Amino acid sequence: MSTSPRRIAIFGATSDIAVAFARAHAAGGTRFALSARDGAALDRLAQDLKVRGAGEVTVRTVDFADLSQLPAIAEAMWGAFGGLDVALIAYGSLPDQAKACLDPALAEEALRLNFTSPALLVNTLAGYFEAARAGTIAVITSVAGDRGRQSNYVYGGAKGGLQTFLDGVRHRLHASGVTVLDIRPGFVATKMTQHLPQTGPLWAQPDKVASDISAAIAKRRAVLYTPWFWWVIMTIVCALPRAVFHRSKL
């Protein structure tokens, strides 16, 4: 891990993966601009990062489901330290698929928080990074976005749309030298998945995912499957013929 001071903005900073990522980068005077919905949790994280060696930490509360707040929060986070080296977008929600099938409002809420909001935020941030001609926009999507499945297609559809959106932004920003990283975790033991049995070889801890994100940013990668074996799994899942795939209960 580099000890050089950096400027990192994290949107959805109180998520478990985001906290692990921030802690991994705190030493060496890194400056953080943090935003999330829970102001008290943000304050606790800011104090934690300062103890670990962060140079400066600013916090802002924001409801990412309120799309009208996105331009202002992007401007504030970019301007906190006169620009950014890394912007990590880490918020989202995991809806109950069965309920979302029956409740259009619940499905719309999930699509807004997992696709519309992060896509619009990336679009705004892209303008700042493009003008600076440097930096990394890193966005947590999911392996669920690789292929639609009956068990989670509301969530997976939003993440799949976001993956395609990032692909386009990456194409747009290529000439400016800005990196756009699409982070596709599998099962991660976090608060968002605490209602599921978090055991078995496919489950990863937030620290592992955060470490993989840091390495991918350093290598300026475009797409990260984390842990790595999800690339193998999803390659197989995506290669299954539809006639075979539809017989499964995935």
Q: What is the pLDDT of residue 197?
A: 81
Flag whether pLDDT at 1 surpasses 80: no
How far apart are the C-alpha atoms of 218 and 230, rounded to whole Å? 21
Going from the N-terminus, what domains does the chain have, and what CATH number goes with each?
Answer: 7-247 (3.40.50.720)
Contacts of 95 (CB under 8 A, 6+ apart): 106, 107, 109, 110, 154, 155
Flag whether pLDDT at 30 surpasses 50: yes
Q: What is the pLDDT of residue 214?
A: 97
CA-nearest of 29, 81, 77, 79 to 55 is 29
* Helix (H) or strand (E) segment spanning residue 31: strand 31-36
Whether the CB-CB separation of 240 and 234 falls below 8 Å is answered with: no
Whether the CB-CB separation of 9 and 124 falls below 8 Å is answered with: no
Task: Give mean pLDDT, residues 72-90.
Answer: 98
Q: What is the pLDDT of residue 199?
A: 84
Whether the CB-CB separation of 32 and 55 falls below 8 Å is answered with: no
pLDDT digits (tens, 9 = 90+) for 141-172: 999 999 999 999 999 999 999 999 999 999 99
Of all residues in the chain, the percent with pLDDT exceeding 70 is: 98
Query: Looking at this protein, which amino acid is placed at residue 211?
Result: S
Q: What is the pLDDT of residue 198?
A: 82
Flag whether pLDDT at 133 surpasses 80: yes
Catalytic residue, chosen from 91, 128, 155, 225, is 155
Q: Which two tokens stand for residue 143?
A: 């392996």
Strand 223-226: give its sheet, edge to edge. Answer: 56-61, 31-36, 7-11, 86-89, 136-140, 179-185, 223-226
Active site residue 155: yes
